[in-house]
Amino acid sequence: MKLAASASESATSLGGADEGAWAEQMKACLAALGISVTLTVWSAVASQDVDKFAKSAKSSVYSEIEKAPEKARLKRNPFEQNPDAVAAGKNLFAQHCAECHGESALGGKKAPSLRAVEIQSASPGAVFWILTNGVVRRGMPVWSKLPEPQRWQLVSYIKSLGVASSQTADDLPKKP
């Protein structure tokens, strides 16, 4: 904009009708250029900000499970491949977890989906470790009051669900 102003000033100071018209055209041209450059720079900056936010939000919500110590991560689920454990875990989930994580573990207002790749690809031991320790400062309670077998049943159930986008089942209208 400064450029446009000084260009028109020097052009008008030369005097003459033709030069005046030319200066007017130049001024309009430079102003348009200035606006488009400003818009381009602004949109680039804005989209960068959005990317940064999306990335940090994604990594922070599931960052805790990545911190499980190796010893905890390698613990085997004693109920691996046990369908009764999945059924028991489903009941426990409805009782203790659904209010925050949603009925199908797809996430709710209070807590993130447990069907995300970050959780589904974590080792059963890491999920068990999260249940035992919670993420208290971020609103995930400690579940060490549940006996160990029940915590493993919950792990069995969560792992049986598999990866799903949080925009599926819970958001769809329920069948009558």
Residues that bind ligand HEC (CB under 6 A): 61-62, 64-65, 96-97, 99-101, 110-112, 114, 119, 127, 130-131, 135, 138-141, 143, 154
CB of 56 to ligand HEC, least distance (A): 12
Nearer to ligand HEC, 23 or 130 (CB): 130
Phi, psi of 135 (to 5 degrees): -135, 65
Q: CA-to-CA distance for 166 and 176, rounded, in angstroms?
A: 22
**Which of the 8 DSSP states describes residue 10?**
H
CB of 41 to ligand HEC, least distance (A): 35
Q: Which residues are CB-neighbours of 133 under 8 A, at least 6 positions away?
A: 142, 144
Number of CB atoms found within 10 A of residue 64's CB:
17
**Which of the 8 DSSP states describes residue 67?**
G
CB of 125 to ligand HEC, least distance (A): 12
CB of 70 to ligand HEC, least distance (A): 16
Nearer to ligand HEC, 30 or 154 (CB): 154
- When computed from its CA atoms, the radius of gyration of the chain, rounded to whole angstroms, is 29
Nearer to ligand HEC, 58 or 138 (CB): 138
**H-assigned helices in 16-165:** 17-61, 70-73, 83-96, 98-101, 117-120, 124-133, 148-161
Task: With H, G, I as helix, E, B as strand and everything else as coil, classify residue 13.
Answer: helix
Nearer to ligand HEC, 27 or 159 (CB): 159
Q: Which residues are CB-neighbours of 38 under 8 A, at least 6 positions away?
A: none
CB of 154 to ligand HEC, least distance (A): 5
Nearer to ligand HEC, 30 or 131 (CB): 131
